[in-house]
Structure 1
Amino acid sequence: MKTILIYASMTGNTEEMAEAVAAGVREAGGDVTVKEVLDANVHDLNDYDGILLGAYTWGDGELPDEFLDFYDDMADLNLEGKKAAVFGSCDSSYAEYGAAVDILTNKLKELGAEVVLEGLKVELTPKAAEKELCSQFGQKFIERLNS
């Protein structure tokens, strides 16, 4: 079973999370392709059994600008039969904590994907313990993907 992980990161926080999630996927025996959202094509999602999306929350609870075109292009997809999960770095100083994770989770469900894990939200820069949570998130995803 193949997994794709697509993420957006401005300050490196979500990138660190993505690296730890991908490491967890590999530790669990999974095959993962990692791409920054600007290097990904929405139709790539059709070629994978598992979909992991990562995004930081911008402004008052929006997706980051670099994720907007990808998000809009997702509208034409049918993701039935795919398993998915979402993660992202967050900032509790905003009114909407981690809204980008929720936005992407809802879009995946709308398109028919089975979201198999609750969205993982980490406050700003992931510390060692939070990186371990990210790794466990990747491992759990592979367990769910294979079940």
Structure 2
Amino acid sequence: MTKALIVFASLTGNTAECADIVDEALKDLGVDVETVECMQAEPEDLLDVDICIIGTYTYGSDANLPDEFVDFYEELSEIDLTGKVFGTFGSGDHFYEKFCQSVIDFSNKLASIGAVEGAESVKVDLDANEEDIEQLKAFAKALVEKAESLT
């Protein structure tokens, strides 16, 4: 059975809602999935799954990573995710110049440590609307198809 781990950070609940949508979509596809907040996860946890998923918000005009996700992000450099499939999603606000920059940062980091991008990142403006929900479901499906194609 394909295994996935969703690690997320959420400030307002928007990214948590997205994580729930992806979690449910993966379960509907027969994936064994675990969803955890970033403070309860270590990068090494990603070594035990086929699909590595990061959900993060981007906050403020500097578009910095969420404070609670910085250590996890930095420690990712210490592991090798070759052979793993990854996907990233998150929420942001189009009010800011660098929309969902943290999502992009995580995608670049995961690719740099050997993981293969399985689906295009989903970037949600504030909270998920119907279109975003459909994108998140398609995101989950693409990740599973990519993981299955590698086995």
* TM-score class, shorter: over 0.9
Task: Give 5+ residue unaligned stretches, structure 1.
Answer: none
CA contact (8 A) 2:90 2:100 kept: yes
2:57 aligned counterpart, secondary structure: coil
Q: Where does residue 45 of structure 2 map in the other structure?
A: 44
Q: Where does residue 7 of structure 2 map in the other structure?
A: 6
Distance 2:143 2:28 in 1: 11
From 118, 140, 143, the counterpart of 2:142: 140
- Number of aligned residue pairs: give it: 147
Q: Where does residue 55 of structure 2 map in the other structure?
A: 54
From 125, 128, 140, the counterpart of 2:127: 125
Distance 1:29 1:43 in 2: 24
| Structure having greater relative contact order (Cα 8 Å, sep ≥ 6) | 1
TM-score normalized by the length of structure 1: 0.96
Distance 2:59 2:71 in 1: 15
% of aligned pairs identical? Answer: 37
Q: Where does residue 92 of structure 2 map in the other structure?
A: 90
Q: Where does residue 118 of structure 2 map in the other structure?
A: 116
Q: Which runs of 4+ in 1 moved over 3 A?
A: none
Distance 2:26 2:142 in 1: 8
CA contact (8 A) 2:8 2:15 kept: yes
Q: CA deviation at 1:3?
A: 0.7
| Deviations, residues 16-59 of structure 1 (Å, cap 9, x unaligned) | 00000111111111111111001111110111111010000122
TM-score normalized by the length of structure 2: 0.93
2:5 aligned counterpart, secondary structure: strand
Task: Give 5+ residue unaligned stretches, structure 2.
Answer: none
Q: CA deviation at 1:90?
A: 1.3
CA RMSD, Structure 1 to Structure 2 (Å): 1.0
